[in-house]
Amino acid sequence: PVIYAITPTFTRPVQKAELTRLSQTFLLVPNFHWIVVEDSPKKTPLVTNFLAQSGLRYTHINAPTPSNYKLGKHDPNWKKPRGVEQRNAALRWIRSNLNESNNGVIFFADDDNTYSRHLFKEVAKVKRVGVWPVGLVGGLMVERPICDKATGKVTGFNAVWKPDRPFPIDMAGFGINLQVILEKKTALFAYDIQSGFQESEILKQVTTRDELEGLADGCTKVYVWHTRTQAPVLNTETILNKKGKSSNDGIEV
């Protein structure tokens, strides 16, 4: 199958570094198609040029988050859901550009996580909806489904953070076969739901707990980490900018 990885992304100082890290892992993955969705009213030159030189097969779209759902400058990031508009735009693109003759698996690849190339062998195995462990999330070293090693059946989850979620796993912890996305035509992410429930929102529309396929060696291997990049301190740059100067005049960082 082709792995369709959906990545929402937005302009900030670390954006090019994040996309560079991701793209260089993705180059190691056979049959990979990157769907990059910018949270912006227009496609930016930075992302446009970045993708053109990436060496990857890709689709570049943009879908701005409506202003009433956008995080304020000083809001903690759990206040509003992130990536909703962008992932939905990608799902719409998939539904209007792919059909039953395409063999694929959809995976949601946020731009700040860390992916092992070995993850994608698991993603490629997804028949309907597959799940696997995610490192460094939910306050744990690993948040994971509890699986029967022989059958891959999921018997429970180890989540401690909001364990009452219908599917207590992170966005990076599951893949959905393209045929399922095409069958469940209306399945999308949503804004007005409890924080931390985005994963459950999409999953409950496409599957049930007992249908899940536990992958990554019976959910015992960690191939993806929910890392988060610290915002860089740019205080000296800010002082320069106030004097009408900048360290990166004509240089894309």
Smallest gap from Cβ 110 to ligand UGA, in A, equals 4
Binder of residue 64, out of ligand UGA, Mn ion, none (CB less than 5 to 8 A by kind): none
**Rounded Cα–Cα distance for residues 193 and 191 (Å):** 6
Among 6, 23, 83, 225, contact with ligand UGA (rule: CB under 6 A): 83
- The active-site residue, picked from 199, 201, 211, 237, is 199
Smallest gap from Cβ 191 to ligand UGA, in A, equals 10
> Binding segment for ligand UGA among 20-28, 51-59, 75-83, 209-217 (CB under 6 A)?
75-83
Window 224 to 253, contacts with ligand UGA (CB under 6 A): 226, 228
Q: Is 199 a catalytic residue?
A: yes
Window 149 to 178, contacts with ligand UGA (CB under 6 A): 170-171
DSSP 3-state of 156: strand
Is there binding between residue 188 and ligand UGA (CB under 6 A)?
no
| String of contacts with ligand UGA for each residue 33-72, x by CB under 6 A | ------x-------------------------x-----x-
Is there binding between residue 10 and ligand UGA (CB under 6 A)?
yes
Window 98 to 157, contacts with ligand UGA (CB under 6 A): 110-112
Question: Do strands 154-157 and 104-108 pair parallel, antiparallel, or not at all (unpaired)?
Answer: unpaired
Q: Supply the residues annotated as catalytic.
A: 199
